[in-house]
Structure 1
Amino acid sequence: MGADVRTRRRRAGLVSALFMAAGPGTVAGVVPYLLTRWERRDPVPGGVPAQVAGSVLVAIGGAAITSAFVRFVREGLGTPIPVAAPTELVVGGIYRHVRNPMYLALASAVLGQALLLGRARLLVYTGVMAVPVTAFVRLREEPALAAQFGEQYELYCENVPRWIPRRRPWEPPHRTVEP
């Protein structure tokens, strides 16, 4: 691996870490805190099973968003930020199952907090958040990726769903992708 690639990855990693704290940290951390002060309803609707499910969803969301950010740095040689976008289409790891794992991870973390805390307003927040995210993905993000990556992105879209993860990971035909 060349020094240029290592330098780009290092820089992308730093920028991604800062963005992760600012962007997803706000969406899945600061806003839920402001809406709930992380105060649990007593008793939590659904009791302990709901809290366990909520904890699992928060953990899955955190792991998935971290994995997606790392994938952008390692495979895409860029960041999730449009001004420092990847130069390679990211189709490995969690992206082999679903095209938008970051948004799903954020929704998972917020829904998990809703269950953990027993706070319906976080369910409403997730629903409200889904509207502009869906519009952004369909109207801005997908056309930009299609323009940048052409047939490679078209093939990816034909094989990997936008929102509902596929059970088996997609295997790109002409590219070695780390699992």
Structure 2
Amino acid sequence: MLGAALIVAGLPILLDSFARFALQGPGTPTPVMPPKRLVATGLYRYVRNPMYIAGTAMIAGQGLLFGSVTVLAYGAIVWAGFFLFVVAYEEPALGEQLGDEFKRYRANVRRWFPRITPWRG
């Protein structure tokens, strides 16, 4: 049940995140064509990386649903890759691209653990 819940919860979060990048950024969540503006609406008001959290939750959900330790291990590797990418590349690049706006956002919205109330920066 938990596995199915993680998959069902993760998919709309991923779709919402992609839509926000395309419509409000405008851009994509990839380094090739990053958004031109800070996207700090929707779930991004609560946590800086809902897309990575949702993707990892969906992989973990599949591992639980199918009882696969291999898929769960894969999810842990993907999570580690997301973490390293965010810390080593994404945040420094966004800091350079978006300047003080991103610094304020980063100071008020946590990377992985959601706020209780939405940031209204």
Quickly name the TM-score band, shorter chain normalised: over 0.9
Of residues 20, 24, 27, the one that matches 1:78 is: 27
Taking the aligned partners of 1:54 and 1:66, their CA distance within structure 2 comes to: 19
**Pairwise CA distance, 1:138:** 0.5
Count matched residues: 121
Aligned counterpart, 1:57: 6
Residue 99 of structure 2 corresponds to residue 145 of structure 1: no
User: Which residue pairs with 1:163 in the alignment?
Assistant: 112
Considering only CA atoms, is the larger Rg found in Structure 1 or Structure 2? 1
Give the C-alpha shift of residue 129 in structure 1. 1.5
The normalised TM-score by structure 1 is: 0.65
Normalising by structure 2, report the TM-score: 0.95
- 1:131 matches 2:85: no
Which structure 1 segments of 5+ residues have no match? 1-51, 173-179
Q: 2:15 corresponds to which residue?
A: 66
Q: 2:61 aligns with which of 112, 123, 126?
A: 112
CA distance in 2 between partners of 1:130 and 1:55 (Å): 19
For 1:138 and 1:102, the matched residues in 2 are separated by 15
Q: Whole-Å Cα distance in 2 between the matches of residues 79 and 95 of structure 1? A: 15
Does structure 1 residue 100 correspond to structure 2 residue 73?
no
State the shift of 1:136 in Å.
1.0
CA distance in 2, matches of 1:119, 1:68: 28
* More displaced 10-residue stretch of structure 1: 146-155 or 70-79: 70-79
Aligned counterparts of 1:132 and 1:82: Cα–Cα separation in 2: 15
Counterpart-to-counterpart distance in 2, 1:135 and 1:81: 15
Amino acid of the structure 1 residue aligned with 2:118:
P
Structure 1 counterpart of 2:4, one-letter code:
S
Distance 2:3 2:32 in 1: 34
Residue identity in the other structure for 2:83: T
Distance (whole Å) between structure 2 residues aligned to residue 95 and residue 134 of structure 1: 17
Aligned residues with identical type, % of pairs: 41
User: How many Å apart are 1:83 and its aligned residue?
Assistant: 2.0
Partner AA of 1:67 in structure 2: D
Aligned-partner residue type, residue 117 of structure 2:
R
5+ long unaligned stretches in structure 2: none
- Structure 1 runs (4+) deviating above 4 angstroms are none
